[in-house]
Amino acid sequence: MQHGKYRFIVGFLALPVIVYAVFVISPFVQAFQISLTDWSGLVGTAKFVGLENFEKLWHNEDFWNALWHNVYMLIAVPIVTLGLGLFFAFMLNVGGKRRKNEVITGVAGSKFYRFVFFFPQVISITIIAVIWFNIYNPDPQDGMLNSLLGAVGLDSLQNAWLGEKSLALLCIMAVMIWSHVGFYVVLFSAAMASIPRDIYEAALLDGAGRFPTFFRITLPLLWDTVQTGWVYMGIIALDGFALVQIMSVNMGGPDGATDVMPLRLYLTAFRDSQFGYASAMGVAMLIVTMTFAVLTMRFARRERIEF
């Protein structure tokens, strides 16, 4: 019986494991192999150079500039996105005023707000980038943001936005947050819905306000979901390729102010035809991403609270 069970398990998992190895594991292995070569992308032109690409990468100021931009995004984007997601989800589920037969309820119109928050998730990231590129248009007549500021008498706040070195990356980060916060509103709302209402009612009977209720009840019970969301959002922040490529001035400008690692990899491979060097960047990105995920799962770990 035992041998039959194991044969069944192996037979059931063999095909998925093979497919995963071919289409997921194999490209990672090939990327590392290519990173050890000087290859222009043409068949038969690869030349083994060992760790030379990694040494060159270590001294590449453009790559470090792009890496630091990703680090800034890694710090700011998950914090703001998850913070807004938790706040809106809390208000939509337990932040409303008491009603006749309901002690715990969300704000009025919470179902409609869920739809509004989630709407950006059904839009392609390319369309989002194009929409916001036009919103940030510096022309006072064509740019929606500058036009709105001018209409309310705030002409002094009008700016070039994506053309301003000190603001360009912040503008792109704002779009990244806007496009993902709705997903976490729905995710955290689903998690909050599983928390027994008796817990909230008991806290309210004891005189707890909204802030103590959130930090002492909601957040601890949602910590596993928040931890997973942090890793997912961190990986998104380490990417940002589509938004930067479409929205930034001359792909990464002005003057490298919005350059990120994936864009630097793309330009190195397809513009400069240095596929070996670009693969070394890809391996470096993999190391950074895995390090972030492992550290997050390690230091954000808490004892699971049962309810």
**Residue 2 reports pLDDT greater than 60:** no
Distance CA(35)–CA(285), nearest Å, equals 12
Task: State how far Cα 115 lies from the chain centre.
Answer: 21
Distance CA(294)–CA(289), nearest Å, equals 9
pLDDT at 306: 59
pLDDT at 89: 86
pLDDT at 98: 60
- pLDDT tens string 170-190: 999 999 999 999 899 888 888
- pLDDT tens string 87-141: 888 888 776 566 555 556 666 777 787 788 888 888 888 999 999 999 998 887 7
Residue with tokens 């070394």: 280
For the structural domain made of 57-299, what CATH number should be given?
1.10.3720.10
Phi, psi (rounded to 5 degrees) for 153:
80, 20
Mean local confidence (pLDDT), 217-246:
86
Domain ranges (residues) in the chain: 57-299
